[in-house]
Amino acid sequence: MAGVKDVARLAGVSVATVSRVLNDSAPVTEATRVRVLAAVDELGYRPNAVARSLRTDTTRTIGLVIGDILNPFFTELARAIEDEARASGYSVVIGNADERPERQDHYVRTLLEQRVDGLLLCPTAQITPLVRDVVSGGAPLVFLDRTLPGLDVPTVRADGTAAIGALVSHLAGLGHRRIAFVSGPALLSTGRERTAAFTAALRTAGLPVRPEYLEAGDFQAASGRAAAARLLDLPEPPEVIVAGDNLMTLGALDEIRARGLAVPGDVGIASYDDVPWFTHVDPPVTAIGQPVQELGRRAVRALLERIGGRPVEPVVLDARLVVRRSCGEPGAQGNESEGSGRP
């Protein structure tokens, strides 16, 4: 494949000049510029980003390690990140951790070896030694969606405390008293916080906190289904199940459906995370939506700041409740106005 040298020879200039034209890093006569560009065109020259990166020690690439590529929350996030990064001239390399620490580490390692300029990480439950190394190693790093306790890394995430409060009071208003929550892994901030917010909200609403109604899953569909099964097998099953993310909601719906139970007649369901198809489920699922686009944008901006060597503040945005019909008839609260769910 043709290189700068070939271009230089064909255009009758030096390699330095070719480089200058291509990056306009220094003034160049119009005449030589057109000669060089003509040569580039003629040879079908494509700059070798590998060589460039080696020399400049910058790849204009950021790494993104997400929890699960099959989870629409993460793909929407990835998409937003990608858009924002491209606008700033950066490419994004996505790694799918599949919620497994060793796979997360695999990608963190690979991305660092590829010398990405910075790393956006949705950390899995465990703090691995590698992650600890990276943090102390000082590579530009931003946590996304989740924090890890005890690590000093800027984080961009949504806080659902207020929305969960609104959800519980909505449920109480519908007359429900037995409300169960299927949380994520306790090690994850998103797991702990949502559980804490939920129990606090129960207390505020004057409802009892029953330990048997607090289940934990791993943010994957199967665990949601298993948790729902355990809840429904209780001598006094809950009236409503709130699942901690959209995949566990899917799993819970599977279990409910497999048992032939009616929603919300036999049991109601609500989800943390909103996804487009919730509108089409029978009945449409009440959910807490996160400002995914904004999360992605802010994450990229934060990371670029870090790459630029500037300090950044943590970013916390608010999630918001979207009332639909899966927990009972909403009465006067309903305030939906939705399109296809896709822009």
Q: Binder to DNA among 54, 87, 186, 258 (CB under 7 A)?
A: 54
Cα three-residue angle 300-304-306, rounded to 5 degrees: 120
Residue 140's Cα: distance from chain center in Å?
18
Q: Binder to DNA among 27, 138, 235, 265 (CB under 7 A)?
A: 27
**Residue 266 binding result from a copy of itself, DNA, none, given CB thresholds of 5 to 8 Å by partner type:** none
310 near DNA (CB under 7 A): no
15 near DNA (CB under 7 A): yes
Q: Give the C-alpha separation, 302 to 120, whole Å.
A: 10
Q: Binder to DNA among 24, 38, 41, 56 (CB under 7 A)?
A: 56
Burial of 177 per CB tally in 10 Å (0-12, 13-18, 19+): middle
**Residue 22 or 229 having the CB closest to DNA:** 22
DSSP 8-state secondary structure symbol assigned to residue 244 = S
Q: How far is the CB of 52 from a copy of itself (least distance, A)?
A: 9
Helix, strand or coil for residue 163?
helix
Residue type, 12: G
**Residue 91 binding result from a copy of itself, DNA, none, given CB thresholds of 5 to 8 Å by partner type:** a copy of itself
4 near DNA (CB under 7 A): yes
Q: Binder to DNA among 9, 32, 93, 187 (CB under 7 A)?
A: 32
DSSP 8-state secondary structure symbol assigned to residue 326 = B
Residue 116's Cα: distance from chain center in Å?
19
114 near DNA (CB under 7 A): no
43 near DNA (CB under 7 A): no
50 near a copy of itself (CB under 8 A): yes
178, 213 Cβ separation under 8 angstroms: yes
Q: Binding mask 262-281 vs a copy of itself (x if CB under 8 A, - otherwise)?
A: -------------xxx-xxx
78 near a copy of itself (CB under 8 A): yes
**Residues ≥6 apart with Cβ < 8 Å to 307:** 62, 117, 118, 140
**Residue 50 or 332 having the CB closest to DNA:** 50
Burial of 94 per CB tally in 10 Å (0-12, 13-18, 19+): middle
Q: Binding mask 121-140 vs a copy of itself (x if CB under 8 A, - otherwise)?
A: ------------x---x---
The pair of structure tokens assigned to 131 is 């992650």
204 near a copy of itself (CB under 8 A): no
Q: Give the C-alpha separation, 90 to 120, whole Å.
A: 13
- Given the rule CB under 7 A, which residues bind DNA? 1, 3-5, 12-20, 22-23, 25-29, 31-32, 45, 47-48, 51-52, 54-57
